[in-house]
Amino acid sequence: MTEPIVACVDGSRSAMSAALWAADDAALSGRPLRLVHVAEPLLQGVTATVVRDGTAYSEWGAALLDEAVTLVRSRHDGLAITTELLHGDVAPSLSEEATRAAALVVGSRGLGGFTGLVLGSVGVKLAGHVDVPVIVVRGPHVLLHREIVVGVDMSEASRAALDYAFAMAERRGCALRVIRTWYVPPSKYELALQLYGEQVAETEGKMLHEMLGPWREAHPGVPVTASMIYGHPVGALCDASAHADLVVVGSRGRGTIGSALLGSVSHGVLHHASCPVAVVSAHRRPASR
C-alpha cells in the first residue's frame, strides 16, 4: 500500500498552510494525502466531547477536516484524500501516524484544542523522534524563490538530509543550495584564525564538493550551489531561509517523545527560520511505494 503524506489540521492558519504543502507534495510524489485532527482529552479520564463555540468538539473537529478537504480540492481536485478524527494527546497520536506515513506535516502555530498548545511545539517533539521527515510549515503556502536549502556537517544525519533535499528539489523543480559552516571563537583563537582561516575554509570546501559527488550524479537535473560560510549554522541557515522555499536539516537519532534528542541546530532553525523546515532523521525509514 502506498504510504500517504500526513498533515494535521487544528483550525489555525499555519495548519491549513501545512495541509496545502502536504497536498502539493502528495500530488508531486504520486501519493495519497491523509488529513487528521487530534481531539485532546481536557482532563485525566475526560474525553474531548464538550462544547467549543456552541459545537460538540468531535463535530468541530470533523468540520475542520471537511474545510481542509475543500481547500485542498480547490488546488488538487483529483488527489486521493482520506481523513480521520483521532482522540488522545497530539504528539503520541501523530507519532503513531508517522509509522504508516511517508512524511508528517504540521503547522508552526496551532490552536491545540482547549489547552492553547502551540502545534509548533508538537513539531519540535516529533522531529528527531520519528523515522520519517517532519515538515513544519509557517506562513502562507506559496513558492517564491524556487530554492531549497540544506545544512550539512558530514554526519549520517546530513546524508539523510541530502537524500531528502535532492529528491525534493528534483520533485519541485527547485535549485538546491548546500550550506556547510565553520567557526572558531575569535577571542580564543584569533591568531590561528588569521593565519589558517582561508586554508581551513578551502579544505572544508573541497571535502564538501567531494561529499556531494554521488548526489550530483544521481540528480543531474538539480542545479546545486555549495556554500562554505564562516559562522554559526543556525544563523547561516536562518539567513538563507529568507530566500528559500524549504530548509532541510538532519537530526541525530531516535528518542522517546519528549526527550531532549533534537539537536541545537535543528531546534534553532525550527524556531527562527522564515520558511518551512524539514527535519530528517539519521534513521530515516525508506518510504514504500
pTM (two decimals): 0.85
User: Considering only CA atoms, which of 93, 81, 77, 68 is closest in space to residue 14?
Assistant: 68
At residue 188 the predicted structure's pLDDT band, cuts being 50, 70 and 90, is low
Q: 289 pLDDT band (50/70/90 cuts)? A: low
Give the closest residue to 135 by CA, choosing from 220, 252, 21, 20: 21
54 Cβ contact partners less than 8 Å away, ≥ 6 residues apart: none
Query: Bridge-partner residues for 150, per DSSP?
Result: 178, 248
As a three-state string, the secondary structure of 166-200 is: HHHHHHHCCEEEEEEEECCCHHHHHHHHHHHHHHH
* Residues 108 and 137 sit within 8 Å (Cβ to Cβ): yes
Q: Is the pLDDT of residue 197 over 90?
A: no
Q: Is the pLDDT of residue 83 over 80?
A: yes
Q: Above 70 in pLDDT, residue 235? A: yes
Helix (H) or strand (E) holding 208: helix 186-218
Of the listed ranges 105-119, 176-190, 211-225, 265-279, the least confidently predicted one is: 105-119
Identify the residue whose cell numbers are 535549485. Answer: 175
> What percentage of residues in the chain have a pLDDT greater than 70?
76
Q: What is the mean pLDDT of the segment spanning 112-138?
A: 68
- In tens, the pLDDT along 47-75 reads 555 555 545 777 888 899 999 999 999 99
d(C-alpha 66, C-alpha 51), whole Å:
19
Res 186 pLDDT > 80: no
Question: What residues contact residue 148 under an 8 Å CB cut-off, 6+ apart?
Answer: 165, 168, 169, 172, 174, 175, 176, 177, 244, 245, 246, 247, 248
Q: What's the pLDDT at 11?
A: 84
| 247: pLDDT strictly greater than 60 | yes
Q: Say whether pLDDT at 166 is over 60.
A: yes
User: Which domains can be identified in the chain, with CATH numbers?
Assistant: 5-137 (3.40.50.620), 147-280 (3.40.50.620)
Range in 81-90, 193-202, 226-235, 246-255 the model is least confident about = 193-202
Give the Cβ contact number of residue 99 at 10 Å.
Answer: 11
